[in-house]
Chains A and B, each alone.
Chain A
Amino acid sequence: MPFVTDDPNMLDDWLVVGPASGLPRTTRLLGETLHLHTDADGTPHALLGNDALTVQSRYGFLWVCPGGRPARPLFAFPEYEEPGRRIVDCGGLGVAVSGLRVIENFLDMAHFPFVHPDYLGKVPHTEVAKYNVEVDAATDEIWATDCRFWQPRASAAHDTGSEVFYKYRVMQPFSAMLYKSSHRPDRLDAIGLFLQPVDDEHVIAHTLLAYFDDVSTDAELIAFQHTIFGQDKPILENHAFKRMPLEGRAETPTRGDTTSVTYRRWLRERGMRFGTARAAA
């Protein structure tokens, strides 16, 4: 295989290559340029040179299995088709850092008051209350539950502060979901973060909303997401190691980082190499 990695965690999984619309186009995956198009009956195709890759269209995106032997089906996303939810594609944003860093940041609540002040947090409301993290034995997905955080403006539809409930889910090393209190009582909005691995230190971050909000315009919802993501971007890109160190003590977690600790252990247990830093001497 010509790709920049031989890590089966990438080659044998389904990797997002952008929206299912807007074809034909070219895009980048694992150091290579792919050509994407649909044929007359709408079936998607992905070509690397003259070689046809294994590709499927799900959840509004195209997903490629670079090695052609997917180890498992693509994760379930039942909210995508749930009646009453709005699906909004917030587009792809390029980030110059390992995708593992982007997922870890997505899972982190402790940075809210500092990086997203007046939106997702506000000093002095900085404490991360205890929450639960476990790996689902059936799906091998990480779930963090019972998360809550006081937020001044949790979404485009909020204009006052509120205690917001969160659930996080990691489906693949490069994809995660966030479920949080919606504008509708007792229902949770869903945000999917699907990272397209360009190479070990570059991703295109695709964000998809499955929201109950029927007040905001698409442009308002996208503006909110881009405001938040644009605040994270310089933090992510200024990491001292662009790749995530999984071994050794290069980076030390604290109690609020339980999800991160679980995510890194989960990556180590599957022998993740793509996007990781070599063991420090």
Chain B
Amino acid sequence: MTVKLYDYPLSGNCFKVRQMLLWLGVDHASVPVDFHPGREHKSARFLAQINPLGQLPVIDDEGFVLRDAQAILVYLASRYDDPRQRWYPADPKLRGQVAMWLAMADEITRTASAARLHDALGYTHLDIEACRRGARAAFRVLDDHLAEQHAATGLRWLVAAPEPTIADLACFPYVALAGEGGISLDEFPALRRWVWDFRHLPGFVGMSGIFPAGPA
């Protein structure tokens, strides 16, 4: 089977889906959407036929159409991961933690991604200082959590599991791309370490702006 992905190369939310599909070994076909400068995702056709919210990514898995990066990660990991379910663990507490961090990923999109849209794609109507303030507040929560959990248990991913989950993938790109929105990660050492670890995962492909790590 081949999953169709409505895609834009500079979108961190689309990256999440591309990377998940690769890690799960699921073939996909990208349908490029002229997000910028064409704003095709806000066109009447796109709103009527693909996503009434006018957002990317959207997948079409043999007729099953799903929007929202986090929802798509839940679906793909539930459907295509091996029985260990490492990407979306079945344990109730872990699953609760995953859902909590998926919500944080939305907060990161609202703040850090918005700052990048302001600086790089000309979304000058956004309040750039409010975006950056909100991003730093979210990053402070992530950084404290990663540092405290690592000190207490030695675990280094967002949920209390030995391997990364969709929670990490969902939060990753707009943390790694924060500099493009004028947000430095200097004051978030545990978060920087987590970005480093994530970039070194086997099979990590990255996107424009996030280079894959070289061979260790």
> Taking beta carbons and an 8 Å cutoff, which residues of A are in contact with B?
19, 26, 89-96, 204, 217-220, 222-223, 226-231, 233-234, 237-238
Contact = CB atoms under 8 A, between A and B. Distances in A.
A202 B36 CA distance: 19
Nearest to B123: A94
Interface in B107-143: 119-122, 124
B34 A218 contact: yes
Contacts of B38: 91, 218-219, 222
A174 B189 CA distance: 37
Contacts of A226: 8-10, 36, 208
B209 A231 contact: yes
Contact of A96 (B7, B32, B34, B119): B119
A230 B210 CA distance: 9
A58 to B, nearest CB: 18
Nearest to B118: A94
Contacts of A90: 37
Contacts of A89: 37
A33 to B, nearest CB: 10
Contacts of A233: 120, 180, 208-209
Sorted nearest first, the 4 A-B pairs with minimum C-beta distance are: A230-B208, A91-B37, A223-B32, A219-B32
A89 B39 CA distance: 13
Contacts of B182: 96
A238 B179 CA distance: 9
Interface of B: 7-10, 32-34, 36-38, 40, 119-122, 124, 179-180, 182, 207-209, 211
B122 A230 contact: no
A168 B120 CA distance: 25
Interface of B is mostly: loop
Nearest to B176: A234
A34 B34 CA distance: 27
12 contacts: A19-B37, A90-B37, A93-B120, A94-B120, A218-B38, A222-B32, A223-B7, A226-B8, A227-B9, A228-B208, A233-B209, A234-B179
Nearest to A93: B120
B122 to A, nearest CB: 6
B8 to A, nearest CB: 7
A193 to B, nearest CB: 15
B32 A94 contact: no
Contacts of B34: 218-219, 222
B119 A92 contact: no
A90 to B, nearest CB: 7
